[in-house]
Structure 1
Amino acid sequence: MLSKEQNETLTQVGPGKPMGELLRRYWYPIAASSEVERIGTIKKVKILGEELVLYRDKSNNLGLVADKCAHRGVSLEYGIPDKCGLRCQYHGWLYNGEGQCIEQPNEPENSTFKARIKISGYKVEELGGLVFAYMGPAPAPELPRWDLFVQKNVIRTIGYAIIPCNWMQIMENSLDPTHLEWLHGHYFQHIFEQQGRPQDEWKITKHHLKIGFDEFEWGIIKRRVLEGQTEENEDWAIGHPIVFPNMLRVGDSGAHSFQIRVPMDDTHTFHFWYTCFVPKEGVVVPEDYPISLYQCPIKDEDGKFVTDYIDGQDMMAWITQGPIADRTTERLGTSDKGIIMYRQLLKKELKNIENGEDPKCIIRDPKKNEYIELPQEEDKFSEGGLLSGVAKDWNTRYAPNLEEIIELCKGGKVSSSV
C-alpha cells in the first residue's frame, strides 16, 4: 500500500505538481486530425489540468492556447481564427501560436501594452491522424514516431472516451496480466451466459502459470506463460510493451493497437484506442483511405456499464475504483509485481527530472526517431489472429467501417469511405 502523500504524488497532474511536471516532458494526442482539418475549426480541450483551445487558423496552421483571453476572461472557444493566430471575439485581441498578444485593435497604435500580454501557448504537431501537444520546458523533444503511427499499408481506426477516473489506475491495469483470465475470461463467460450466448464463443480462460516484467529502452515488457504454453511461446519470449509513461501496445498478426492514456486532470482521462489493421497480403490500402473516428460507450441508456466487450470491462474496473484509487487501503500480492515495478519506475524518473535530467523515452536525436519499432508478439496466446478475429468483442466494434475493414483484411476491395 502507499501513504496518502505517496498516492497524491503519483496521481496529481496539475501545473507545479511533481507528477504533472514529469508528464509535461512528453507529447500527448489531444484530438484526431479529422476534427480540426477544416480552416477556422476550434476545439476545446483539457490536458494536465489546463483548459485550452485547439484551432486551425486561416494560414492552415494549428495552434493551442489557453481558453481564457487575458483581457476580460472570455472563452476563446468562440474566438475568430485569423491568418496568424486566434482573435478574441469580445474585443479583438489577437494571440499567436505561442500565446503572445500581437494586436489590440482599440488600444493606441504606438502602445506597447500588447507586448506585455501573454497567455499559455503550446507546440502542436500532427502524426498518424492525431494531433499531439507538448506542454513542457523548451527545447521540446522529438515527437516519437512509434511504428504504428508511421506504418505503411494499414487501415487505421481511432476510438476514444473520456474516462472519469485518474490516469494511474488505468495504467496500472496494463501492468496486471492476470486480470485477463478473470475479467476477460470467466467474467466474459458470465456475461455471455446472461445474454444467452454460447459460452464457448470466448475461450481465453487459461490459468497464468508465470508472469514476468523487464525494463527496456522504451518502458516495460510484459510477459506471460499460460497453461499449455512454455517460455518458447511468443507471449513469454517476446511479450508486449508498456511504453513509458502512458501507453500500452497490444495485438497480434492481424492488428496492433495502442491504448494511450492522456491525463486531463486528477479525475479524468482522455483515452485513445489507436488500431492498425493489417490487410491480406497483396491488398493495397490507398494512402488517402480515411481514418475512422468513433466514441466508445462506457454506460448504456440505463446507466449500467457496457461490459460485453473487452474495453468496456476494463473501463468498468478502472472507474469503479473511484475517481482516484485509494492506495492506502490496497493489499498487493505477488501477482502485482508489475504494478510495483511501474510505480518504482515513475519514482525513479521523478528523481531524474529533479536532477535536471531527461526522463525515460525522451528522444532528442532525429535520426533515432525515423521509425521506432516496438516488440510485439504476433501469435497472441498461441491461438493466432485473435484481435482481428474477434474485432466485435473489442472497441473496434464501434468503428463505422468495421465490416469493410474485415473484408479488406480478407482480401476484399475498398468500396466506401468514412
Structure 2
Amino acid sequence: MTPQDSHDLTRVGPGTVMGNFMRQYWIPAARSGELQPDGTPMRLLLLGEKLVAFRDSSGRVGVMDHMCPHRNASLVLGRNEEDGLRCIYHGWKFDVDGHCVDMPSVAPHQCFKDKVRAQAYKAVDRHGVIWVYMGPRQDDPPPLPMYEATLLEEKDVDIQFMMRSCNWMQALEGDIDTSHFGFLHVGHLDPEEVPEGHPLEHTAGDRAPEYHVRDTPWGTNYGAYRAVKPGVTYWRYANYMFPFWTQTPQGEFPVNIQARAWVPLDDTHTMAIFWRRRTASGGPRSTMEPLKNGKPLPGARPQPDFHPNGTGWLERYRVVADESNDWLIDREAQRTNRIYSGIDHIGLQDQAVTESMGGITDHAREHLGPGDLMIARTRRRALQAARAFAAGTPAPGVSEPEVMMGARSGYFEMPASVEWQQAYADKMRSAVRVLKQPAAPVEEAVPAK
C-alpha cells in the first residue's frame, strides 16, 4: 500500500474517498430503545460528523447536524416537544426532516422559517436498530439494506454494540483473518481436550490453514481449508461486504445467520454492531460448548464489563478494559497458559490487539504473509470500489441490496474432490434463509405511532 492508498482507505470524513463511498449506504447507528418519543436528544457521531438524534412525539426518528442553523448552538441541549426539536437559545424549532417549523423570537411579519433548514438525514427504525442514510438522495433514498441477519425479527436475533478505539478497517480485519483464531483465542487449547464434533475440533488441531480468496458482487470471500481426514476437507468461509460489513465462520454454515457492521464514528473510533440468530431459533452452535472436562473454553466468558452509557460523543457502549488498564490482561493466566492471551473474553482479545496498533495503524511497517491474503484482497477491493465510485461507477449493492443475500459464512466438511467455490455454492443451496422477498420501501420501515 502506498501512503495515498492508506490515507484513502482509512479516512471517512465528508469529502474523503472512503467517506463519500460509505455515505451511499444505509448505516446502522443506534438501538431503537436509545431514543424515546419526546425523550432526551442524543449525541451521535457518524463518519466524523457530529449529529443529534431524537424521536419525536409521533415516534419518528430525526437525525441532523447538532448545530442550530441560527447561531450554531447545539441542538443536543434542545427541547424535544410536540413533533420537533426546539433550540433553547432562541426557540427555533425543527422537525425530523430539518424544516424550521417555528421561529418565535422573530416577529410574524418578519418570519422567514420557510427559508431555513437544518442539515437532516433520512432515518428509519427496523427490527430494533435505527438506520441513517447520509448520502445525497435524501428525497429518494435507496432501498433499505439486505444483509441477511439484519432482516431477522427482533425476537429472533441477538444484537450487541461495542465501541472500539481504532480505525474501521483495522477493527474489521480481525473478522476476516481466520489464522489468528488458533492463537489469540485458543492458543491454550489442547486438541486432546476437544470432543469429536465440537466447533473447535479442527481449529485446535491445525493452526495454519491455507486460503482461497475471491472478489464477489458483495465484496470479498475466503475459503480457509484443512485436510482433516483422508479424502475430506474442513472449510471455513467468511465475507467482507460493502462498505464495512463482515461475516465470520463461527458457526455451522447452513444455520450461521450473522453479520457485523464496523461503523466508523470517525477515523479512529468504530462502533461494532453484531447480529446473530438466536440458538433457540435454530442458530449455530457455540464455541462455549463444554470440552471433555465438562467446562467451557477458558478465556471466553460470555460478556465483558461495560461503562454506563454517557452523553458524550464517544460515551456509548464502552468496555471497561482499555489501554489505560492493559485491557485487564492477567499475566499469571498468560504465563501458566490458562488463557493464551491473558485476556478473558474473545471480543476483548480482538479489541486489545487492534487498539494496540494505534488509532490508525502504519501500513508501511507491516509484513503481510500468506495468512493475510484475505486482508490484502479486501483492502484492495474496498479501495478500488470507493475510487470507482468517485469516478462515476455506482456503489455496489446500494440500488440492488439483494446482492448481499449471496453472502454466508460458516464451517463444514466436504469431500476433497469438490472445488472450493463449488463447495460454497452447494452449501448455499441447502442453507436456511431468512426471507426471499425484496427489501421493504423506506416509508414502510417507519414504526407506527
Contact conserved, 1:24 with 1:136, CA < 8 A, in 2?
Answer: yes
Gaps in structure 2 of 5+ consecutive residues: 283-305, 307-316, 329-342, 416-449
1:97 deviates by 2.1
Of stretches 97-106 and 258-267 in structure 1, the one that deviates more from structure 2 is 97-106
1:318 deviates by 0.9
Q: Map of 1:390-405 to 2, 5 A cutoff?
A: none
- Quote the Cα distance in structure 1 between the aligned partners of 2:176 and 2:387: 22
- Quote the Cα distance in structure 2 between the aligned partners of 1:241 and 1:230: 28
In the alignment, structure 1 residue 308 sits paired with structure 2 residue 307: no
Choose the corresponding residue for 1:350, options 376, 382, 386.
386
Q: 1:231 to 1:272 in 2, by over 3 A?
A: farther
1:263 deviates by 0.4
Choose the corresponding residue for 2:321, options 299, 309, 329.
299
Deviations along 1:84-128, one digit per CA (max 9) or x if unpaired, are: 331112221111223232321011213353333332200111222
Deviations along 1:275-304, one digit per CA (max 9) or x if unpaired, are: 2213266xxxxxxxxxxxx85735179813
- What is aligned with 2:87? 88
- What is aligned with 1:377? 410
Deviations along 1:317-342, one digit per CA (max 9) or x if unpaired, are: 11001011011221122222212211
- What is aligned with 1:130? 129
- What is aligned with 2:277? 276
- Quote the Cα distance in structure 1 between the aligned partners of 2:154 and 2:75: 39
Of stretches 41-50 and 154-163 in structure 1, the one that deviates more from structure 2 is 154-163
Contact conserved, 2:259 with 2:275, CA < 8 A, in 1?
Answer: yes
In the alignment, structure 1 residue 159 sits paired with structure 2 residue 195: no
Q: Structure 1 counterpart of 2:211, which letter?
A: I
- What is aligned with 2:55? 56
- Quote the Cα distance in structure 2 between the aligned partners of 1:79 and 1:310: 40
In the alignment, structure 1 residue 103 sits paired with structure 2 residue 102: yes
- What is aligned with 1:288? none
Q: Map of 1:208-357 to 2, 5 A cutoff?
A: 208-228=208-228, 233=233, 235-236=235-236, 239-250=237-248, 251-253=250-252, 256-279=257-280, 295=317, 297=319, 299=321, 303-306=325-328, 307-357=343-393
- Quote the Cα distance in structure 2 between the aligned partners of 1:102 and 1:61: 16
- Quote the Cα distance in structure 2 between the aligned partners of 1:322 and 1:343: 18
SS of residue matched to 2:389: helix
SS of residue matched to 1:30: strand
- Quote the Cα distance in structure 1 between the aligned partners of 2:383 and 2:87: 41
SS of residue matched to 1:328: helix
- Quote the Cα distance in structure 1 between the aligned partners of 2:164 and 2:318: 10
Q: 1:4 to 1:352 in 2, by over 3 A?
A: closer
Contact conserved, 1:29 with 1:133, CA < 8 A, in 2?
Answer: yes
- What is aligned with 2:398? 362
- Quote the Cα distance in structure 2 between the aligned partners of 1:230 and 1:157: 38
- Quote the Cα distance in structure 1 between the aligned partners of 2:230 and 2:61: 50
SS of residue matched to 1:305: helix
SS of residue matched to 2:69: coil
- Quote the Cα distance in structure 2 between the aligned partners of 1:142 and 1:155: 23
| Identity of matched residues, % | 26
- Quote the Cα distance in structure 1 between the aligned partners of 2:88 and 2:345: 44
- Quote the Cα distance in structure 1 between the aligned partners of 2:281 and 2:27: 32
Contact conserved, 2:257 with 2:408, CA < 8 A, in 1?
Answer: no
Deviations along 1:28-50, one digit per CA (max 9) or x if unpaired, are: 11111121244434221100111
SS of residue matched to 2:365: coil
Aligned residues between the structures: 357
1:380 deviates by 8.8
Contact conserved, 1:69 with 1:88, CA < 8 A, in 2?
Answer: yes
- Quote the Cα distance in structure 1 between the aligned partners of 2:323 and 2:388: 47
Contact conserved, 1:255 with 1:278, CA < 8 A, in 2?
Answer: no
Q: 1:141 to 1:234 in 2, by over 3 A?
A: farther
Contact conserved, 1:208 with 1:224, CA < 8 A, in 2?
Answer: no
1:235 deviates by 2.2
- What is aligned with 1:3? 2
SS of residue matched to 2:274: strand
- Quote the Cα distance in structure 2 between the aligned partners of 1:296 and 1:31: 14
Q: Structure 1 counterpart of 2:178, which letter?
A: P
Deviations along 1:213-256, one digit per CA (max 9) or x if unpaired, are: 222221222211135168965625xx232222211123424764
Taking structure 1 as the reference length, what is the TM-score of the superposition?
Answer: 0.76
SS of residue matched to 2:264: strand
Of stretches 123-132 and 81-90 in structure 1, the one that deviates more from structure 2 is 81-90
Moved over 4 A (4+): 198-203, 229-234, 378-382
Contact conserved, 2:256 with 2:410, CA < 8 A, in 1?
Answer: no
Gaps in structure 1 of 5+ consecutive residues: 191-197, 282-293, 383-418
Q: 1:302 to 1:175 in 2, by over 3 A?
A: closer
Q: Map of 1:22-41 to 2, 5 A cutoff?
A: 22-41=21-40
1:65 deviates by 0.9
